[in-house]
A and B are shown apart, each in its own frame.
Chain A
Amino acid sequence: MPETSAFLKLDGISKHYGGVFALNNVHFEASKASIHAILGENGAGKSTLMKSLVGVVHPEEGSILLEGQRLRMSGSGDAAEHGIVCIFQELSIVPDLNVAANICLADPPRTRLGLIDRKKQARLARETLQDMGVGLDIDVHSKVADLPLSKRQIVEIAKAVIRKPKVLILDEATSALTAADVEPVMALLRRLRDEGTLILFISHRMHEVEALADTCSVFRNGEHVETFATGSRSDEEIVQMMIGKPLSQIFPEKAGETPEAPPYLETSGLSWNDKLKGVDLDVRPCEIVGLGGLDGQGQQEVLQALAGVLRGVAGHIRIGEQTEVPNGPRGGLTEGYRVALVPEDRKTGGLFLPQSIANNLTAPILERISPRGVVSGSEEHARIDEMIRTLQIKVSSADLAVSTLSGGNQQKVVIAKWLATKPKLLLLIDPTRGIDVGTKQEIYRLLRDLANDGLAILFYTTDYDELIGLCDRALVMYDGRINAELSGDQLTEQNILSSALNMGVGAEERVS
């Protein structure tokens, strides 16, 4: 058992953005030599908590105590001085430097002249990787930009480990790892714990949490809900703590049986680059099909390929009457296709943040509703009002910048602007990331209503609950292929997980 004295203590931490509390009077304790999982939905305050610990965010109230000493930090440099180091999701990797330089970036070894000792730097980097027991095949002289994502993540971990932290924070740091690297990284974390490190661990993968953590703390809406020993609560209880109500109440009722209509979208052998290796799928009108699996198995690429964003897509494709992918999002709008892609990152791909809500909403349709290229004010306003009404977007004025809206309402704007194009096939990439439960529920309701009205919906989600709760069918991807197709009673977390990890169970259950 870990020691009971509070090694790290947060005392009444509060931080708010605008009128919204990201952290509300948080009291939290964690002990030395333990792995402590932080659970919660996106927007629960986990990230703000971690950022406060590394000095990137400055809470308005409260204090942080490490070994009984109050910390004052003005940046991540200060946090590292105190022994608190965070592993980000490849955020702190400098692409144009080599692996060794990255690993030693914060405190490079120097020669007597004060210059960086590159030989020693390479040796230190190699030693660190060896000591970690992962990434042994990484050449420390290669440029980080040339490494695949999973190797970059290992460099990111090495960069933190070399600093010998007292508190090591992992913010979804295992999500990009390949399956083969996950186990050695877990072993590494256990060893670091045994050597006395406190490891704070944010993950959405419950099985990882269960395998690794000694203690769990659940956060919801910026508040610390409860801390308990791993295994003392059931999964259902934990989920309920995270979302505040039982799972079943969140999702609308499914259609029940497979719709009669022929598929609007059909692909077989869809392949692209080395990311898609022959994807067979179909989506019918009135149907919601989910794409799942671990991150980066080709789910995004499937949707991008169907929207015409990728070049050199091969395989048989049929969308409506068309037998080729559209020529970009513009081509997707044409009568033969009617395909709309709601992109992954609403901040860069979906929205024009500083522009008005009105201008955001009309972006894809402005050309259509403007005869001879001149905007008709009345037509424009009518459309905007209609969209705001249909999606119940909470706005005081459509002339305000879209950045003033909450995450949930921003996401509604993104969806609304695409629905305005009247698509027949709607592709969505993680549409509920980082938004509150209430809005999530509204979006689920909306998608189900749209499906009932005849829309074919294909969406990628990282959230297993969405696959289970919302989708008529779930396609679990692994390494550029569809590893399992699950529906009805087969659609369980257990099955999704095993096929996502390619453990074979899913393959047997594959429905052709």
Chain B
Amino acid sequence: MRSSGIFKTQGRTLFAWGVFAILMGVFLSVHPRGASLGVFTTWSNQCAALALLAVGQTIVVLSKGIDLSIGPIMALANCIASHLVNGSPSEIAFGVVIVIATGAICGLINGLVVVVGKLQAIIATLAAGAIFTGLALLVRPIPGGDISVGLSDAMTMEAFGVVPSAVLVMLGAVALWYPIRRHPIGRSIIAVGSSEAAAEASGLNVARAKIAAYALGGVFAALGGLFIGFQTLSGDPSIGLTYTLNSIAAVVIGGTMLTGGAGSVVGSIAGALVLRTIGSLIFFIGLQPLAQPLFEGTVLLIAVSFGATRLLKIKNRMEVFQ
């Protein structure tokens, strides 16, 4: 139903943050070291890459698309980083630029295939994902490589000794998105996702908006791949698939509608945090690690089942089909 409204969208975002707050509270209370900076740092390091990916996926979903290649783009970026992001500061800077540009180009290709090739997003990004995975394998057939230890430390330790860098990274992702959202291109992404016909009739450039959404998704995926590199100090071509699925799960838990137009990047970050905190929680709560996938699956199932509550309000059965 279209009349979900601001409240509902933001309500869902708040709900995701509420769930996260509860999980975090439990996590900190069961953690042997409690709420300490070290615990926060380890935890946020586990969250950051998925959070970045979730932001990228949200932008694509806002435009009413979906990017199943977001994990492979991340893997490719990670593998390239393991070659280039090391050495002298200028070499590192060059490497980072190349990695991000790779993400942008991959996203651009997705966008072009969807817009110009007129392929459905699911199949286009699925196929593009296979290509990106192949490229990642070419770049680095087996996990390995080298990533600047200095930069890695800076990104995965505490900044100024008070706040985990990974938290700043996630805040940075939001800070990056908000100006885009307030830029005409960001607005056209949302407009196209909300109603393509209306955007077209209003003279907005629909093709450009869609391509931009995929390109931005690619950039955030590359940032995610870079961050994984900082964590592992290496490149691994096989990390893609689970990240793709988890990014979609994070978007859904965060309250963004897969039907486009309505949703929030902040909610998706909450979704990513929820997914990751569950993993850490299970470890410390003394639950069998074997139960972790089941627990994660159950949370996703419950989260998506909330979508069914809208049915209770529907009085005209035709609206069920929207």
Closest to B188 in A: A105
Taking CB atoms and an 8 Å cut-off, the chain B residues in 116-168 that contact chain A are none
Report yes or no: B261 in contact with A105, Cβ–Cβ below 8 A.
no
Closest to A108 in B: B184
- How far apart sit A441 and B3, CA to CA, in the bound complex (Å)? 40
- A80-B203, A91-B198, A159-B202 given as contacts; is B5 within 8 A of A108 (CB)? no
Q: How many A-B residue pairs have CB under 8 A?
A: 96
Report yes or no: B179 in contact with A94, Cβ–Cβ below 8 A.
no
Q: How far is the CB of A176 from chain B (nearest CB, A)?
A: 15
Q: Which residues of the partner chain B approach A304 to less than 8 Å between Cβ atoms?
A: 316, 318
Report yes or no: A92 in contact with B201, Cβ–Cβ below 8 A.
yes
Residues of B in contact, count (CB < 8 Å) = 31
Closest to B191 in A: A94
Q: Which residues of the partner chain B approach A95 to less than 8 Å between Cβ atoms?
A: 2, 194-195, 198, 261
Q: Would you give the 0/1 interface string for A207-238, flagging 1 where the beta carbon is closer than 8 Å to chain B?
A: 00000000000000000000000000000000
Q: How far is the CB of A475 from chain B (nearest CB, A)?
A: 21
Q: Which residues of the partner chain A approach B75 to less than 8 Å between Cβ atoms?
A: none
Q: Which residues of the partner chain B approach A105 to less than 8 Å between Cβ atoms?
A: 187, 191, 202, 204
Residues of A in contact, count (CB < 8 Å) = 40
The answer to whether the Cβ of A19 comes within 8 Å of any Cβ in the partner chain is no
Q: Would you give the 0/1 interface string for A312-348, flagging 1 where the beta carbon is closer than 8 Å to chain B?
A: 1000000000000000100000000000000000000
Q: Which residues of the partner chain A approach B187 to less than 8 Å between Cβ atoms?
A: 97, 101, 105, 108, 116
The answer to whether the Cβ of B285 comes within 8 Å of any Cβ in the partner chain is no
Closest to A310 in B: B316
Report yes or no: B198 in contact with A272, Cβ–Cβ below 8 A.
no
- How far apart sit A312 and B316, CA to CA, in the bound complex (Å)? 9
- A101-B187, A116-B182, A273-B315 given as contacts; is B4 within 8 A of A91 (CB)? no
Q: How far is the CB of A170 from chain B (nearest CB, A)?
A: 14
Report yes or no: B3 in contact with A146, Cβ–Cβ below 8 A.
yes
The answer to whether the Cβ of B33 comes within 8 Å of any Cβ in the partner chain is no
Report yes or no: A94 in contact with B317, Cβ–Cβ below 8 A.
no
Taking CB atoms and an 8 Å cut-off, the chain A residues in 52-88 that contact chain B are 56, 75-77, 79-80, 86, 88
Q: Which residues of the partner chain B approach A75 to less than 8 Å between Cβ atoms?
A: 200, 203
Most central of B193, B261, B316 by chain A CB within 10 Å: B316
The answer to whether the Cβ of A114 comes within 8 Å of any Cβ in the partner chain is yes
- Which of A94, A114, A143, A328 sits near B199, CB closer than 8 Å? A94
Report yes or no: B179 in contact with A91, Cβ–Cβ below 8 A.
no
Report yes or no: A88 in contact with B317, Cβ–Cβ below 8 A.
no
Q: Which residues of the partner chain B approach A146 to less than 8 Å between Cβ atoms?
A: 3, 5-6
- Which of B2, B183, B201 sits near A91, CB closer than 8 Å? B201
- How far apart sit A263 and B39, CA to CA, in the bound complex (Å)? 77
The answer to whether the Cβ of A106 comes within 8 Å of any Cβ in the partner chain is yes
Closest to A104 in B: B187
Report yes or no: B317 in contact with A311, Cβ–Cβ below 8 A.
yes
- Which of B5, B195, B315, B318 sits near A93, CB closer than 8 Å? B195
Report yes or no: A145 in contact with B202, Cβ–Cβ below 8 A.
no
Taking CB atoms and an 8 Å cut-off, the chain B residues in 173-199 that contact chain A are 179, 182-184, 187, 190-191, 193-195, 197-199
The answer to whether the Cβ of A254 comes within 8 Å of any Cβ in the partner chain is no
Report yes or no: B191 in contact with A97, Cβ–Cβ below 8 A.
yes
Q: Which residues of the partner chain B approach A80 to less than 8 Å between Cβ atoms?
A: 203
- How far apart sit A98 and B190, CA to CA, in the bound complex (Å)? 12
Q: Which residues of the partner chain B approach A118 to less than 8 Å between Cβ atoms?
A: 182
Q: Which residues of the partner chain A approach B291 to less than 8 Å between Cβ atoms?
A: none
Q: Would you give the 0/1 interface string for A142-168, flagging 1 where the beta carbon is closer than 8 Å to chain B?
A: 110110000000000001000000000
Q: Which residues of the partner chain A approach B190 to less than 8 Å between Cβ atoms?
A: 94, 96-97
Knowing that A77-B205, A311-B317 touch, tell me 5 more A-B residue pairs with CB under 8 angstroms.
A77-B203, A94-B190, A94-B261, A97-B187, A106-B204
Which A positions have Cβ atoms within 8 angstroms of B?
A: 56, 75-77, 79-80, 86, 88, 91-98, 101, 105-106, 108, 110, 113-116, 118, 142-143, 145-146, 159, 272-273, 304, 309-312, 328, 349
Can you sample 17 A-B contacts with CB below 8 Å? A79-B203, A92-B197, A92-B202, A94-B191, A95-B2, A97-B194, A108-B187, A114-B183, A115-B183, A116-B184, A143-B5, A309-B317, A309-B318, A311-B315, A311-B316, A311-B317, A328-B317
Across chains A and B, which 6 residue pairs bring their CB atoms closest together, nearest first? A77-B203, A96-B194, A92-B201, A96-B261, A115-B182, A94-B191
